Amino acid sequence: VGPGGEERWGRGRPRVPAAEARAALLHVSCAARAREFICLVLRRYVPSQADIAVFEAIAAPPPADLFHALRWYNHIKSYEKQKASLPGVKKALGKYGPADVEDTTGAATDSKDDDDIDLFGSDDEEESEEAKKLREERLAQYESKKSKKPAVVAKSSILLDVKPWDDETDMAKLEECVRSIQADGLVWGSSKLVPVGYGIKKLQIQCVVEDDKVGTDMLEERITAFEDYVQSMDVAAFNKI
């Protein structure tokens, strides 16, 4: 600083009064602090619904010369997918701005609501109708295919004991009579003669039946009908297949 109070910047540089130099340095300092403050805020600041309301009211990013606003805009834009979960209650834009600024967001909302009304139906409705029709067709195809699928037939394996009157009964003829019984769902299997006592043997014969078509009562009735050879019939074993 010279004797007249001026600040000397060096040889060949203009001499600026000390007061003006100090004021300039204060401006630089404030700008630097503002920049540091913005960085600090952006690292720790969590946006609210108020930010979203203002953000949605801005049609385009602020110009580059409004760098503080542009930086805020880009920061809020990064929360696009999370905006619904941000804290606070979203209000009309006029609730956040100066009192003398007209709030036109309500009119814009009404206009948007009017645009949503489609008196002639929308493409989404047509697509949903097509999807519904396609779903019904597929369900019909499934039901048709299911009805054509053969049902599981319940069957049983039965071992019968057929007893003759005495030891003089012709067992070959008795077995022939039993096997002569034919019915839908009845298949005769192997057979053998099993001694009972006093020279008497019983016929033990296997058969497979469809449960819905042939029962043991029907077999007993048909077999005991050969009363010249058959005294009685018993079920020795009954197993589901």
Q: What are 150-168's pLDDT values in tens digits? A: 777 899 999 999 999 999 9
pTM of the model as a whole:
0.40
Of 46, 79, 112, at which residue does a domain stop? 79
Cα end-to-end distance, the chain, whole Å: 116
The number of domains in the chain is: 2
Let me know if residue 229 belongs to a domain: yes
Residue ending a domain, choose from 41, 63, 79? 79
Q: Which of 79, 101, 126 is at the close of a domain? A: 79
**Residue 50 domain boundaries:** 20-79
pLDDT at site 87: 81
CATH number, domain of 228, equals 3.30.70.60
Residue 31 lies in a domain: yes
The reply to whether 228 falls in a domain is yes
- With respect to residue 64, please indicate whether it lies within any of the assigned structural domains: yes
Note whether residue 108 is domain-resident. no
Q: Where are the beta strands (DSSP E) in the chain?
A: 6-7, 16-17, 155-163, 186-197, 200-210, 232-240
Residue 31 has pLDDT above 70, yes or no: no
- For residue 189, is it within any domain? yes
Alpha-carbon gap, residue 120 to 157, rounded angstroms? 68
Among 205, 211, 206, 204, residue whose Cα is nearest residue 240 = 211
- Residue with more model confidence, 61 or 37: 61
Band of the pLDDT at 142, cuts 50, 70, 90? Answer: confident
Is residue 90 assigned to a domain?
A: no
Nearest CA to 204 out of 233, 166, 239 is that of 233
- Given the structure tokens 């019984």, which residue do they identify? 181
Domain assignment present for 192 = yes
The 3-state secondary structure of 82-126 reads HHHHCCCCCCCHHHCCCCCCCCCHHHHHHHHHHHHCCCCCCHHHH
